[in-house]
Structure 1
Amino acid sequence: MAVSTRKSGVEEMCPYRLVLEHVTSRWGVLVLIALEERSYRFGELRRAIGETSRVSEKSLTQTLQTLERDGLVHRDVKPVIPPRVDYSLTDLGREAAEQVRTLATWTERRMDDVQKARRAYDEARS
């Protein structure tokens, strides 16, 4: 599957918005956090992020291609039989992963407060 190099209207108007969308997407967050620990082969990565939720092969492939295009993930193809492909973070990706991890940690730490706010909101609406 080839990644399109044609820019969308959103990308031309607000290029940072698209990168932010990629980094904070459902699978982007989990991929960055997992790869922060170490490099992974595709199947290993899928299992590593699948502990918390199930990611399809297609979704993971698209996420990795998008993050690779953005310069956050490095795809290393080893010329062996059978082929071996490892995924790791670039320096830019490591920096992004640190920021995403901070947000994920905050979310986990404050989840009780978020749930309390949701209940209060729902009760006020009913």
Structure 2
Amino acid sequence: MEAKTLSVPQLAHLPADSADGVFQAGCPSRTVLDHITSKWGVLILVALSEGEHRWSELRRRAEGISEKMLAQTLKTLERDGLVLRKAQPVIPPHVDYSLTDRGYELTALLIPLVTWAYDNADDILDGQR
């Protein structure tokens, strides 16, 4: 299969004050990047960009995620200040999840990445065969 020739857009560069730091082993940004770019982290964040969701809605939306992984991912994203957990004082328990302002800022950057992955997945996987 012949590779497509693409025009390369002007690439953005890292700001000078972070250009070297992000490549350092101890840089805190590596931990944050690990949380937000995990398969489930990205999908949960993008799902929440559509609006508030309950646990069961997120589980259905991110097809294939286990209960344990959903719980772990939500806790991590909540701890990172990207997701807000709102428990309703009712029986049975009712918990809603939504994005914080920082979470919305992040998903504005993630949605083009997810869109790109979706649009190019077939060509990339065909090229691997």
TM category, shorter: 0.7 to 0.9
Residue of structure 2 equivalent to 1:19: 32
For residue 110 of structure 1, give the secondary structure of its aligned residue in structure 2: helix
Give the superposition deviation at 1:114: 2.3
1:75 is matched with 85
- TM-score, normalization by structure 1: 0.76
Q: Which has the higher contact order (CA 8 A, sep 6+)?
A: 1
Change (3 A) 1:45 1:112: closer
The match for 2:72 among 22, 45, 62 is 62
Q: 2:96 aligned with 1:86, yes or no?
A: yes
- Of 44, 59, 63 in structure 1, the residue corresponding to residue 57 of structure 2 is 44
Q: Supply the distance in 2 between the matched residues of 1:95 and 1:23 (Cα, whole angstroms).
A: 12
Partner of 2:62, secondary structure, is helix
Q: Which runs of 5+ in 2 are unaligned?
A: 1-24
The 3-state SS of whatever aligns with 1:77 is strand
Larger % of helix: which? 1
Q: What are the superposed Cα offsets for residues 17-76 of structure 1, whole Å, 9 maximum, x if unpaired? A: 1111111101001101100001111111101111xxx11100000000000000000000
Q: Which residue does the alignment assign to 1:95?
A: 105
Looking at structure 2, the residues matched to 86 and 98 of structure 1 have their Cα atoms a distance apart, in angstroms, of 21
- Look up the match of 1:124: none
Root-mean-square deviation (Å): 1.6
Following superposition, the deviation at residue 115 of structure 1 comes to: 3.2
CA distance in 2, matches of 1:39, 1:65: 16
Letter in 2 for 1:42: W
More divergent stretch after superposition (59-68 vs 39-48): 39-48
Contiguous gaps of at least 5 residues in structure 1: 1-11, 120-126
Whole-angstrom distance in 2 between the partners of 1:83 and 1:56: 20
